[in-house]
Amino acid sequence: MTDQTPHSRPPRRFNPAWLGVLPFALFVSMFLIAPTLNIVIGAFQTPDGSFTLANIQGLFTRSIMSSYWISIKISVASAAIGSLVGFLMATAVVLGGLPRGLRAPLMTFSGVASNFAGVPLAFAFLATLGPLGLVTGVLRTEFGINLRAYGFNILSFWGLTITYLFFQIPLMILIITPALDGLKREWREAASCLGATGAQYWRMVALPILFPTIIGTFALLFANAFGAVATAIALTGSSLNIAPIMLFAQIRGDVLGDPQLGYAMAFGMIVITAVANVTYIVLRIRSERWLK
């Protein structure tokens, strides 16, 4: 006989495997969740701690809206170009029948380059495409091409966009490559057996299957560029008023210092990047369902 009812469950025991993820949980709590909560709360508080919507209202000024708009344009441009170029490069390497040995170096380089940002990246681009940069000089002296005469300036919208592409394209390659691997050879073969041309296969099968991943990755690249601050500050200083630079100025407090408005700006950026990231996750889940 036992005193246990048929529905009773054995007592739950602590699984020591949870200790393995403890450092990660602590790290995320201290450096992501707590600061984010602090920003969100700060965005709705006055300096003395009482509730207010004035900080949020303060975002709707011309200069701040303009900074958001420039940020969005740069992010869209770098994400769109990064997605397109990264997709084409990954497709060429994965499906294009190029030598297999090309793939490993490309993936390794992409892994490194997608994390190459901040002051080193800004310096690298100033040293190559800046007014006195190596590439600028070679183009001028060897080929008679004066980039400035064509309106190109590394400290401009397109200058920053091109710089961002250095990490955006590799990030796209890293994310789209597994999706391209997921395209089954049998799909292409079945399509051709049924009479489809290569273009019909891509239009009716491959691209629709990849579409969620491509759009999702575009959203991730957008968020990646939207949140990039160190590269922007190191490259352009304050010559380009994008949202992260405006935010930096508010929080640092040397000229425009208004920490509460800074919180509100950060809150706005969190909302935009969160939308982009959620879009990425949702589309990625949908795509994985197909590519299983």
Partner 1 sequence: MSFLKLSHLEKSFGASHVVRNFNLEVERGEFISLLGPSGCGKTTVLRMVAGFEKPDVGSISIAGKDVTALGVRRRDIGMVFQAYALFPNLTVAQNVGFGLKVQGTARSEISARVQEMLALIGLPDKADRYPYQLSGGQQQRVALARALAPRPKVLLLDEPLSALDAKIRVSLRNEIREIQKALGITTIFVTHDQEEALSLSDRVVVMHKGVADQIGTPFEVYNAPATRFVAGFVGTLNTLEAEVIDAATGTVALGAQRLVLDRPLPPGPVTLGLRPEMLHMEGGPAYLTGRVMASDFLGSVVRVRVDVAGQILALDQFNSTRRAPPRVGEELRFGLNPSDVLVIAPAG
> Which positions lie near partner 1, rule CB under 8 A?
184, 186-187, 189-197, 200, 204-205, 208-209, 289-292
CB of 89 to partner 1, least distance (A): 24
Q: Which is nearer to partner 1, 111 or 208 (CB)?
A: 208
Q: Which is nearer to partner 1, 139 or 209 (CB)?
A: 209
CB of 203 to partner 1, least distance (A): 10
Q: Which is nearer to partner 1, 80 or 209 (CB)?
A: 209
Q: Which is nearer to partner 1, 205 or 229 (CB)?
A: 205
CB of 194 to partner 1, least distance (A): 3
Query: Angle at which helices 207-226 and 62-95 pack, to 10 degrees?
Result: 140
Q: Which is nearer to partner 1, 16 or 195 (CB)?
A: 195
Phi, psi of 132 (to 5 degrees): -110, 20
CB of 162 to partner 1, least distance (A): 34
CB of 90 to partner 1, least distance (A): 20
8 Å CB contact between 203 and 274: no
Q: Which is nearer to partner 1, 105 or 208 (CB)?
A: 208
CB of 209 to partner 1, least distance (A): 5
